[in-house]
Structure 1
Amino acid sequence: MENFVTDRKEFENYKSKIKKLFPDYISFEKNSFNNNFKYFIAFDFDYIFEEIFFEGTISFLNKIKNGKLFFYTIDPSPEDYFFIHFNKYSVFELETNKNYNDFNSIVYKDPGVNTADAIGINSNEISCFSHSDDWAIIGSREWEISIVGFISLEMKEKFLNSFGDNSDIFTSIEQQVNILDDMLNFDNELKADYNELTENYQDRE
């Protein structure tokens, strides 16, 4: 059964990877992907925990010959919150030969004494990645958006093709913001905040 990382040295390896992917991380809307990332697509944050997202991501990892998916909770802090409360880090890896039930079990696993602390429930900002430096995901429950970054159009196409008919869950960042606006009817302040996010995640030349 999959488990959270408990070893400090192992955790530091994942933390180093996060710092490599997002070297100047401030907040979700600022776009802290490193400069190698040129292309971005968006999807609804909640899909991260759904089977169609899991299956497509595993298919993608097999296509690029990466054997593990890594899941890292940025907020609440895996150190200052999760480890202090549960003596483990809100970080785990899942081999690509595992199934959705394995994934679902750990994201909704009670880390201590309260299932409300499961990362599928109380995580606000997360990242998914693999050994490759060519792609990564960052998502925010507060903003209700997840963003996939790629270093090349080829990698972006491989990712989308891995989802087959379900690739329509992905949009441009602007389209995803418009979907949210239609549902939530942004006031002017919120509209300005999401416009900033859209500008920050424009594809780079």
Structure 2
Amino acid sequence: MPNFIIDKEEFEKYKSKIGKVFPEYTSFEKNNFNSNFKYFIGFDFDYILEEIFFEGMIAFLNKIKNDKLIFYTLDPSPENYFFTHFNKYSAFELGTHSSYEDFNDIIYKDPGESTSDSIGINSNEIALFSKSNDWTIIGSRDWEIAIAGFTSSEIKEKFIQSFRNKSDIFTTIKEQVEILDDILKFNDNIKNEYLHLVENYKDRD
């Protein structure tokens, strides 16, 4: 059964990985992926918590022969907030043998004082990754978008194909913003902010 990471050395290993993927992280919309990441696709942030996404992720990990998925909260801080309050980090591992029920349990697990502090409720920015250096997902609840970054078109296609008939949840970043605009009817200021996000996450040559 997955559980929150409590060992500092184990946490530092994953913190180091995040630091290499996002070497100068400032904010979600800036695209802080390192220069090895060339290709980006978008999807609705809320899919991260759903079963269809979980099943696709497990299929992808099996396809690339990785045996663990790491879920890591960027905001609130896993150290300054989560560890300070609960003596554990808002990060955990899931093996490819895990079920969606396992995932759902840890996502909504009370970390110590209130279920309102569970990761599924109190997480604004998150990252998903594995031992592979060829992909990472970052998502923002405030922006209502998650973005998967890849180092090659081949790994991007493997990722999308892993979701089989559910792969239509993925779009370009521009298309995802248009979907949000259709639903939320952005004012001009917000629309401009999203246009900057689209520009920042264009595929890199």
TM band (smaller chain): over 0.9
Aligned identity (percent) is 68
Within 5 Å, give how 1:1-150 maps onto structure 2: 1-150=1-150
Deviations, residues 126-150 of structure 1 (Å, cap 9, x unaligned): 0000000000000000000000000
Matched, 1:190 2:190: yes
Deviation at 1:80, TM superposition (A): 0.4
Distance 1:175 1:144 in 2: 13
Gaps of at least 5 residues in structure 2 are: none
Paired amino acid for 2:17 = K
Q: Which residue of 1 aligns with 2:172?
A: 172
Distance 2:9 2:154 in 1: 34
Distance 1:171 1:112 in 2: 37
> RMSD over aligned Cα, in angstroms?
0.4
Deviation at 1:2, TM superposition (A): 1.1
SS in 1 for 2:120: helix
Distance 1:53 1:28 in 2: 21
How many residues are matched? 205
Deviation at 1:41, TM superposition (A): 0.2
Using the size of structure 1 for normalisation, the TM-score is: 0.99
Distance 2:2 2:12 in 1: 19
Gaps of at least 5 residues in structure 1 are: none
Distance 2:166 2:143 in 1: 22
Distance 1:18 1:52 in 2: 25
Deviation at 1:176, TM superposition (A): 0.2
Using the size of structure 2 for normalisation, the TM-score is: 0.99
Distance 1:113 1:23 in 2: 33
Distance 1:91 1:188 in 2: 37
Paired amino acid for 1:4 = F
Deviations, residues 133-174 of structure 1 (Å, cap 9, x unaligned): 000000000000000000000000000000000000000000
Distance 2:122 2:141 in 1: 9
Deviations, residues 2-32 of structure 1 (Å, cap 9, x unaligned): 1100011111001000001111100000000
Distance 2:97 2:21 in 1: 25
Distance 2:113 2:201 in 1: 39
Paired amino acid for 1:177 = V
